[in-house]
Chain A
């Protein structure tokens, strides 16, 4: 079974702070894996490393057959990342944004519009500048922009955040559909009840490393007040 993501003892530094301190992870193609873990555990960095955006300072890191330590920009085109940012130009309208990102990826404008409809972004919003939209609507538009690019590897950082119930259903549907078509999905989430029935497997990220928790691991209680990271003022990610 060909591996989409293969990490062995991967270390990724944010400044001097080891956001990833030796992570091991194997994800097969077409698998949907949920990343669970407290804030600051390194989930976001793990996703950014898989997207080829964060540098791996030591260890083995191969995504979609590309060695990330040597030339990590090679896989970016084949990866879709959805984070807390919207990745949208505030002053451009919804359609202009989606059209731009679709055509930038070499996809058709029609793909973008279809993705918008899949995300049920009301057509009356299509010609409004993005900054007038609510956070939930913006997240749907950025999700549509990502879907239009048809990435082989979906990296979603708390995709459900800020979405209403119908939005979450749409996203879960899209994730299942993408996995069925052979795409691989890696997503971090705190909504454990909903995420569990979408994900094939759950993996726990703690302290910058991956602990493959058993399927029904007990829910985590709230983390105590957090110790300041040892490095000078580099805030670690969520």
Chain B
């Protein structure tokens, strides 16, 4: 992975090569195509196994079919926020745009996966408890944590120069990730320790054979999907910055042009 050159801001040496655009027209590349194919095949297998072929669970009945997709979704979400935190620390240290955009892309995916987690949790709840929402530890924690990261995305929408936006996002990314274990602990105690039927049992050991395989298949498929999404989301963010930069060189040239004619146009103000 080539790391960005050490200049900190978005500026880069003027006079970029201007030969006709020959680069690939999309954010795709061989790597993403390979990942893409693997993801699609994996999803197909997961659907086949999870929904149709595996037997109903002794204890959970058919609701386990949601779990096959639900547990990987929430694990990917937490992975996304851990990546955001690590990238945020790296940004504060290295100050390169690469880490800033990497953290932001991962955070956005994390919020998306959290939203799906809550959706699945509610559907699962409808079957198990007969009601969409119960102040059940996992659902509550997910909802609260998602809000902290919605704040992260809200901050990034505010027009700001890249350095300020990067630093503020990095700080929020770190503050929010530390909140995850604390909120987990607080919500667990809040609902009392008795372990009611919670939707997030780890991939319970007494699952065997096909069920266990499907559970792990789900995890791997979602990880590959996450990687594919992250690469694309990062490239979109990177291109967005470069597209904004295109104007900078023109602005610098135009600004220097003012110098040649000092007394007429005067500085833009």
Contacts and interface: CB of A to CB of B under 8 A. Distances in A.
Could you say which of B13, B163, B255, B257 has the most chain A C-beta atoms within 10 Å of its C-beta?
A: B255
A197 interface: no
Task: Indicate the member of B245, B250, B262 with the most A CB atoms within 10 Å.
Answer: B262
B69 to A, nearest CB: 41
Contacts of B256: 21-22, 207-209
Contact of B269 (A232, A233, A236): A236
Nearest to A220: B263
Contact-size category for B? 20 to 34
A224 B252 contact: no
B258 interface: yes
A17 B9 CA distance: 13
Nearest to B244: A16
Give the dominant DSSP class at B's interface.
Answer: loop
Given A42-B267, A55-B163, A57-B7, A230 B13 contact: no
B262 A231 contact: no
Nearest to A208: B255
Nearest to A217: B262
Contacts of A57: 7-11
Nearest to B266: A223
A220 B251 contact: no
Contacts of A232: 159
Interface residues of A, number: 41
Main DSSP-derived SS at the A contact region: loop
Interface-central residue, B251, B252, B254, B257, by most chain A CB under 10 Å: B252
A233 B160 CA distance: 11
Interface string A207-223: 11101000000001101
A236 B259 CA distance: 16
Contacts of B259: 206-209, 211
Contacts, number: 113
B251 to A, nearest CB: 5
Given A16-B244, A69-B8, A236-B269, A22 B252 contact: yes
Contacts of A38: 262, 266-267
A228 interface: yes
Interface in B217-237: none
Given A22-B256, A211-B262, A226 B248 contact: no
A159 interface: no
B259 to A, nearest CB: 4
Contacts of A42: 267
A232 B160 CA distance: 11
Contacts of A206: 258-259, 262, 267
A42 B52 CA distance: 68
Interface string B12-54: 1100000000000000000000000000000000000000000
B268 A220 contact: no
Nearest to A39: B269
Contact of A16 (B12, B251, B264): B251
Contacts of A11: 11, 252
B247 interface: yes
A37 interface: yes
Interface in B125-180: 159-161, 163
Contacts of B247: 16, 230-231
B265 interface: yes
Given A22-B256, A207-B258, 8 more contacts: A38-B267, A42-B267, A58-B12, A69-B8, A207-B257, A209-B255, A211-B259, A221-B263
8 contacts: A18-B248, A41-B267, A207-B267, A209-B259, A223-B266, A226-B266, A226-B268, A233-B159
Which 5 interchain pairs have the tightest Cβ spacing?
A: A223-B266, A40-B269, A207-B258, A57-B9, A57-B11
